[in-house]
A = this chain, B = another copy of it.
Amino acid sequence: MTLTGKLLIGAQQVAGDKGSLFAINPATGQPLEPAYSLGGAAHVERACELAEQAFDTYRQTVPAIRAQFLEKIAHNIESLGDELIVRAMAETGLPKARLEGERARTCHQLRLFAATIQAGEQNRPRIDPRLAERKPLPRADIRQRRIALGPVAVFGASNFPLAFSVAGGDTASALAAGCPVIVKGHSAHPGTSELVGRAIQSAVAECQLPEGVFSLVFGAGSEVGAALVSHPVIQAVGFTGSRTGGMALLRIAQARPQPIPFYGELSALNPVVLLPGVLSEKGDDLGRQFVASLTLGAGQFCTNPGLLLALDQPSLENFVTSAVTALRESSAQTMLSPAIHNAYQHSTVCIAHNKHVETLAQGIGSDDPNTCRAVLYATNATAFLADPNLHEEMFGAASLLVRCRDEQELLRVLHHLEGQLTATLHFTDADLPLARKLLPVLERKAGRILANGWPTGVEVCHAMVHGGPWPATTDVRATSVGTAALERFLRPVCYQDLPDELLPPELREDNPLKLKRLVDGQSA
């Protein structure tokens, strides 16, 4: 498939008129053909107009139609074959196996949402039947279902060019819910975005859906993003990216007359707490496991373990020795983009110069462009509590060990943390009393709590929560991974005394979709 370098507006390929950009191969620093033309507010306007036109038809499709569409997208992505993988490798520096795995995850995700909407769990119909004889007043017949919010803007993330990008979790869940989607493709991987975008565009046509169900725009600076988020047609936003970028878009969303849900997944340190008992038992193993998790994908995961907390006891030293050894053997890895590499350099230089921070070990360096050299720092709790700079995410394979004097200080550090995507406890039976004390604190700090594992690797399933208190996300009620992500794009509507023939199928008396429904408060 020849890359066109164009925007996808509904069924059209459209050249932008706001200049152009090239993707950069981070492994070589060289630009990649073709040039990608950039759009502006007028392109957003057209995409929104088409999305609005498509919305009523699309939201009222039965789940089986939307499921077929999601499956078709997965099929079309797979049909791109190696071309997609090769382009994504060139644009992101990520290795083949990782991208193949990510493609599998992306297609699994689309198919899981397809299955989920057909099972109907996200809809949760509620029926309170008429009580004609109730005194003093009869009760009307009242039935509730959830309907799609409206067109959704999705911002592709740099670090998952497939799973959190054009056909990633935000797009899949919004489309599953019945919302048209307009994606702003990430400028670091426009070719990958175009390939996946065209796979979706084809699926729209093949499923005979209105063209406005999907558009893909590119833009420089903030014009396109701001135009999207402030457009009256847009009814929700999904974003995965930096805290600065996400908060800027959130503020634009908040300046709208009409408030809309803004689902931003911003940043996290993902604290890992190592309790004394488990450190005594297997500090060595934990050190190696930690470095494997830290350096996976050059540390470019939202759930990268960027903070280690432990009591400053002799049992900690086995862990440190083992982690230091493993880290020193870790190879340099190409980062996703020059911008991310620069940010990593900046944050590691800053922390290395902090007089309360010791550099415990560094990985192997490299003269290749844009490489990440892994690094582990250490400090004490007093310094950590006093310095907000030490609470900032360092995106990449860098982590900070905070030594705490005692349990009280450990608790104080945990209380002091900002919101997190994950919090991990390593413990053994001897640590259970302390683990019990920490759990309630961790629950308030994070969306996912792990026991004796590592936070990298986010399962796409029904129970997953990839979310958490701010600044991990901008909306603590939501998850951006797993089937509960669907609920972000639905709203409840109730129907009072409607005759069966006017009711939507999920609420009809004979329950043609065979859904589980809450009847008079009881599951039926």
Contacts of A452 in B (CB 8 A): 497
Question: Which residues from chain B contact A128 at a C-beta distance below 8 Å?
Answer: 459, 461-464
Q: Choose, from A136-144, A185-193, A313-321, A406-414, the stretch at the interface.
A: A136-144
Interface residues on A, range: 35 or more
Q: Please give me the residue from chain B that is nearest to A453 by CB atom.
A: B497
Closest residue to A465 on the B side, CB-wise? B494
Query: What are 17 contact pairs spanning A and B, CB under 8 A?
Result: A56-B440, A119-B521, A126-B462, A126-B463, A128-B459, A258-B419, A258-B470, A258-B471, A435-B502, A448-B495, A448-B496, A449-B493, A449-B494, A451-B498, A451-B499, A451-B502, A484-B492
A450 at the interface (CB under 8 A from B): yes
Partner of A494, one of B258, B259, B464, B475: B464
Is A520 positioned at the interface, with any CB of B under 8 Å from its CB? Answer: yes
- Bound-complex Cα distance A144 to B493 (A): 26
CA distance A492 to B121 in the complex (A): 16
CB contacts under 8 Å to B, within A470-524, are 470-471, 474-477, 479, 483-484, 490-499, 501-502, 516, 518, 520-523
Residue of B nearest to A489 (CB): B477
In whole angstroms, how far apart are the Cα atoms of A432 and B443 in the complex?
Answer: 52
* Cα distance, A257 to B471, chains bound together (Å): 9
Chain B residues with CB under 8 A of A440: 56, 60
- Check A212 for interface membership: any CB of B closer than 8 A: no
Cβ of A241 < 8 Å from any Cβ of B? no
Quick check: B521 and A462 within 8 Å, CB to CB?
A: yes
Q: How many copies of this protein are present in the complex?
A: 2
Q: Does A24 contact B (CB under 8 A)?
A: no
Determine whether A127 belongs to the interface, using a CB cutoff of 8 Å to chain B: yes
Known: A60-B440, A147-B443, A474-B259. A139 touches B496 (CB 8 A): no
A447 within 8 A of B: yes
CB of A353 closer than 8 Å to a CB of B: no
* Complex: A144 Cα to B466 Cα, angstroms: 11
Min distance, Cβ A441 to any Cβ of chain B, angstroms: 8
Q: Are B261 and A477 in contact (CB under 8 A)?
A: yes
The CA-CA distance from A25 to B235 in the complex, in Å, is 44
A142 touches B467 (CB 8 A): no
The reply to whether the CB of A250 lies closer than 8 angstroms to some CB of chain B is: yes
A62 part of interface (Cβ distance < 8 Å):
no
Q: Are B451 and A479 in contact (CB under 8 A)?
A: no
Residues of chain B within 8 A of A254, CB atoms compared: 254, 259
- Residue in A147, A465, A469, A496 whose Cβ sees the most chain B Cβ within 10 Å: A496
- Tell me, rounded to whole Å, the shortest Cβ–Cβ distance linking A170 to chain B: 16
Shortest Cβ gap from A515 to chain B (Å): 10
A446 interface residue per 8 A CB criterion: yes
